[in-house]
Amino acid sequence: MSEEHKLSLHVPEPEVRPGDTPNFSNVVIPKAGSVERPPVDVDPKDIRELAYSIIRVLNRQGEAVGPWAGTLSDEELREGLRHMMTLRAFDARMQMAQRQGKTSFYMQHMGEEAVSCAFRRALEPGDMNFPTYRQAGLLIAGGYPMVEMMNQIYSNEADPLKGRQLPIMYSSKEHGFFSISGNLGTQFIQAVGWAMASAIRNDTRLAAGWIGDGSTAESDFHAALVFASTYRAPVVLNIVNNQWAISTFQGIARGGSGTFAARGLGFGIPALRVDGNDYLAVHAVAKWAAERARRNLGPTLIEYVTYRVGAHSTSDDPSAYRPKTESDAWPLGDPVIRLKNHLIVKGTWSEERHKQAEAEILDTVISAQKEAETHGTLHAGGKPSTRDMFEGVYATMPPHLRRQRQKAGV
C-alpha cells in the first residue's frame, strides 16, 4: 500500500477557539429583501436555492424590504418587541434566581428571542407546538402567565407540574405547548403524529415541531421527515440553528451538507432558511409555512439561523470552548435591537419609549417573581406534597404503587 492512499479521519473543527479572534467570514449573508417569496403551493424542487440562502426582511438601515415584508402591523410589531424584551428580562431574573439558589437549573434564550416569539404569532388557537427547552417565547407570546412559569421553575406548591419536572420543562395544553422532555429530538416525530391525527380527523389545526441544530443528528429527526413527507402531514418542522450544541459547533451535526434546511430537500419537503434574528422574517416565513399546512399542502422545513449568546445552561461555561466575544461578532446582530431600530426608523417607537418599556417590563417580571415566591422556591417555603410524587403515573393508581405510597407514609 502506498503512503498517499492511507486513510485519515476527518473531524470538523470550528473556525476559532478560546483566545482566537471571532470569525464569521464564512457565513454568507444575502442582502435583506433579495430572496424570492414563492407561492405556498410551490413544487419543492423549484425552490431548492431557498434552502441555501437566508430570507431576511430588515436591512442595515432598519427598513423592512423585499417580498417577505409586511406581514405584521406596527401595533403587532410593538407587541412583538415587548414579548422579546419580556423573555429577555424573564431570563435574566431566572438566571439570577438560580445563582441565588432558588432553583437548581435554568436555560436562557439570549439572542434567540425572535424565533419563538415571532413564530407564535403565525399560529391559531388550537394549533400545537412540540417545543424544545429553548422556546419559552411561545408561552410568553402566547399569553401564558409568567407566574406559572416561575412556579414550575421553583417547583413550589403552586407548580402546575407538581414538582415532578426539572425547571423549564413546561407544559400547557391550553396554550398549545406540548410537555417538554429531557430526551432530545423525541418531540419532532410526535409533532408529525399530532399533525397526522389532525388530518385523519379532517380538522383544521396544525402542529409545529422544534429541534436544535445538534439534535438533528438524532434518529427522531430522520423519522419525522420521512413520516411528514410520506403522509403530507400539516406540520411546520423548525430547526433552530444557534451554531452550538453545548460545546459542539454545528459543523459536527451538519457534516458535509451545506445547511440544515437542505436536509428537507431529499425528503421532498420545501425547505426555507431564515434570519433567526429578524423578527419580521421569522414571522413571514412561519406564516407561509402555516398557510401551506392549513391548505393541506403538507409540511415545511425551516432553518432559523441564529446564535446562542448565553451559556448552554446554568451548568455551562462557554469560555471553555469558544471566544468570549464571539456573540458580539455574530453578523445577524441582536433581535431585540434590530426590531427596536426598525420601529424607531418607522417613527412608531423611540429610545425614550424603549427605556420606559424596559422599566415597565422589569416591574412586571419582578412582581410576578414576588408572587411566585410566596408559593415557595426549591429549598424554601411551600412545596408540592410527597403524595403528588405517586399520582399520575397511571390514570388509576395500581396496587403496587398504593403499597409504595403507604410505605412512604403518605
Partner 1 sequence: MPRMTMIEAIRSAMDVTMGRDETVVVFGEDVGYFGGVFRCTQGLQQKYGKTRCFDTPISELGIVGAAIGMAAYGLKPCIEVQFADYVYPAYDQIVSEAARIRYRSNGQFTCPIVIRMPTGGGIFGGQTHSQSPEALFTHVSGLKVVVPSNPFDAKGLLISAIEDPDPVIFLEPKRLYNGPFDGHHDRPVTPWSKHQLGDVPEGHFSVPLGKAEIRREGTAVTILAYGTMVYVAEAAAEEAGVDAEVIDLRSLLPLDLDTIVASVKKTGRCVVVHEATLTSGFGAELAALVQEHCFYHLEAPIARVTGWDTPYPHAQEWDYFPGPRRVGEALLEVMEA
User: Where does this chain bind partner 1 (CB under 8 A)?
Assistant: 128, 130, 160-162, 164-165, 169, 171-173, 178-179, 181-183, 186, 189-201, 207, 219-220, 222-224, 226-227, 230, 392-395, 398-400
CB of 219 to partner 1, least distance (A): 6
Shortest spacing between CB 175 and partner 1, in angstroms: 10
Least separation in angstroms between residue 63's CB and partner 1 is: 41
- The Cα diameter of the chain in Å comes to 74
Q: Which is nearer to partner 1, 213 or 220 (CB)?
A: 220
Nearer to partner 1 (CB atom), residue 46 or residue 391: 391
From its phi and psi, is residue 255 left (phi > 0), alpha (psi between -120 and 50) or beta? left
Q: How far is the CB of 291 from partner 1 (least distance, A)?
A: 21
Integer CA distances (angstroms), 253 to 188, 212, 226, 245, in order: 16, 10, 19, 9
Nearer to partner 1, 6 or 407 (CB): 407
313 close to 106: Cβ distance less than 8 angstroms? yes
Closer CB to partner 1, residue 61 or residue 296?
296
Residue number with CB closer to partner 1 (5 or 400): 400
For 242-324, where are the E strands, in sequence order? 244-245, 248-249, 271-275, 300-305
CB of residue 370 to partner 1, shortest distance in Å: 24
What's the closest the beta carbon of residue 294 comes to partner 1, in angstroms?
16
Q: Where are the beta strands (DSSP E) in 213-371?
A: 235-241, 244-245, 248-249, 271-275, 300-305
Distance in Å, CB of 318 to partner 1, minimum: 27
Across the strands, what pairs with 238?
Answer: 210, 302
Cα distance between residue 247 and residue 321, in whole Å: 6
For 209, the enclosing helix (H) or strand (E) is strand 207-212
Nearer to partner 1, 113 or 220 (CB): 220
- Cβ atoms of 293 and 309 within 8 Å: the answer is no
- For residue 225, the minimal CB distance to partner 1 (Å) is 10
* Cβ distance to partner 1 smaller for residue 346 or 402: 402
The Cα–Cα gap between 205 and 344 comes to: 36
User: In the numeric block, which cell numbers belong to residue 263?
Assistant: 436536509
| Of residues 87 and 208, the one with the C-beta less far from partner 1 | 208
Give yes or no for a contact between 292 and 227, defined as CB atoms under 8 angstroms apart.
no
Give the shortest CB-186-to-partner 1 separation in angstroms. 5
> With DSSP H G I counted as helix, E B as strand and the rest as coil, what are the percentages for the chain, rounded to 5?
40, 10, 50
In whole angstroms, what is the distance from residue 234 CA to residue 230 CA?
A: 12
CA nearest to 270, candidates 53, 51, 33, 54: 51
Alpha-carbon distance 405 to 410, whole Å? 6
Comparison of 224 and 282: residue with beta carbon closer to partner 1:
224
When the beta carbons of 57 and 195 are compared against partner 1, the nearer one is: 195
Sign of CA dihedral 253, 255, 259, 260: negative
Beta strand residue intervals within 113-155, DSSP E: 128-130
When the beta carbons of 77 and 253 are compared against partner 1, the nearer one is 253
- Are 20 and 44 in contact by the 8 Å Cβ rule? The answer is no
- Please report how close the Cβ of residue 397 comes to partner 1 at its closest, in angstroms: 10
CB of 243 to partner 1, least distance (A): 26
Q: Can you tell me which residue has the cell 429610545?
A: 351
Interacting residues of 349 by C-beta distance below 8 A, sequence separation 6+: 78, 81, 340, 343
